[in-house]
Amino acid sequence: MKENSFEIKDLTKVYEVGDENVYALKNCSISVEKGEQVAVMGPSGSGKSTLLSLIGGVIKPTEGDIFFGDINIAQFDENKLAKFRRQNIGFVFQDFRLIPEMTAKQNILLPLMLDNKKADRIYFDELCKRLAISDRLHHLPSQLSGGQKQRVAIARALITNPSLILCDEPTGNLDSKSGDEVLKLLKGVCDTDKKTLIVVTHDKDLASKLDRVIEIYDGEVKQ
């Protein structure tokens, strides 16, 4: 039997804005297998980023469950959630979110530093080689191209060796050539290391290369 990476059940997220309630997600249920590569697609405002933030433990649901095995992170307090997130999830964002004052290498090592951990030298070297950034490690983000910045951000997401990688429009700020290159490298790393990959994207070409597409409309998963 195949094992699940995670399973969300009847997940609802309501944002309160003044007197108004915004239903960003409504009763969503999804399960994703270990090692599966899934595209999340849907119109702007449909709830894609909200879904990723919930799966990754960045925000808590209003209702519903998020299971990783027997563990339901929907019931975690902020501290437990932050620890879970650091140890199990890698995030990649459209706008890279690198620290401008830190070199590429310092950015990559930051998640380990926050947990007082040292990098496995062999894994670090291998990761940089696979993402083709070994010769850019002493550059500041401002000295890197968009594609290089995103590859550094991917290395940072992977340095803790998480089992689940969540990417929110990772090529949204890149031209199509460097976007394609970034995706090829990201997918290659996930293929080799059998990581579960969830990518929010508007790119039909990319979606067709992944195992499955989850479509979201107006806060609901299209079944």
Ligand X SMILES: Nc1ncnc2c1ncn2[C@@H]1O[C@H](COP(=O)(O)OP(=O)(O)OP(=O)(O)O)[C@@H](O)[C@H]1O
> 100: closest CA among 142, 156, 150?
142
Reading the block at residue 179, the tokens are 């976007």
> 200: closest CA among 34, 49, 13?
49
Nearer to Mg ion, 49 or 103 (CB): 49
Nearer to Mg ion, 49 or 196 (CB): 49
What is the x/- site pattern for Mg ion, positions 65-84, by CB under 5 A?
A: --------------------
Please, what is the minimum distance in Å from the beta carbon of residue 49 to Mg ion? 3
- Check binding of 49 to ligand X (CB under 6 A): yes
Please, what is the minimum distance in Å from the beta carbon of residue 94 to Mg ion? 8
Cα distances from 13 to residues 41, 70, 106, 135, in angstroms, run 18, 22, 35, 43
198 binds, among Mg ion, ligand X, none (CB under 5 to 8 A by kind): none
- Check binding of 37 to Mg ion (CB under 5 A): no
The residue within the footprint of ligand X, chosen from 39, 41, 48, 157 (CB under 6 A), is 48
DSSP state of 161: -
SS3 content of the chain, % helix, strand, coil (to 5): 40, 30, 35
The residue within the footprint of Mg ion, chosen from 37, 49, 107, 201 (CB under 5 A), is 49
Nearer to Mg ion, 37 or 49 (CB): 49
Please, what is the minimum distance in Å from the beta carbon of residue 135 to ligand X? 33
What is the x/- site pattern for ligand X, positions 7-46, by CB under 6 A?
A: --------x-x----x-x-----------------x-xxx
Nearer to Mg ion, 159 or 174 (CB): 174
**57, 28 in Cβ contact below 8 A?**
no
Report the Cα 79 to chain-centroid distance in Å. 20
Nearer to ligand X, 24 or 128 (CB): 24
* Helices 121-130, 104-114: crossing angle, 10 deg rounding: 140
Opening angle at CA 124, ends 161 and 210, nearest 5: 50
Nearer to ligand X, 53 or 150 (CB): 53
DSSP state of 184: H
> 218: closest CA among 77, 73, 97, 44?
44
Q: Within positions 123 to 152, which residues make up the interface with ligand X, using CB under 6 A?
A: none
Q: Which spans of this chain sit near Mg ion (rule: CB under 5 A)?
A: 49
Question: Residues interacting with ligand X, by CB under 6 A?
Answer: 15, 17, 22, 24, 42, 44-50
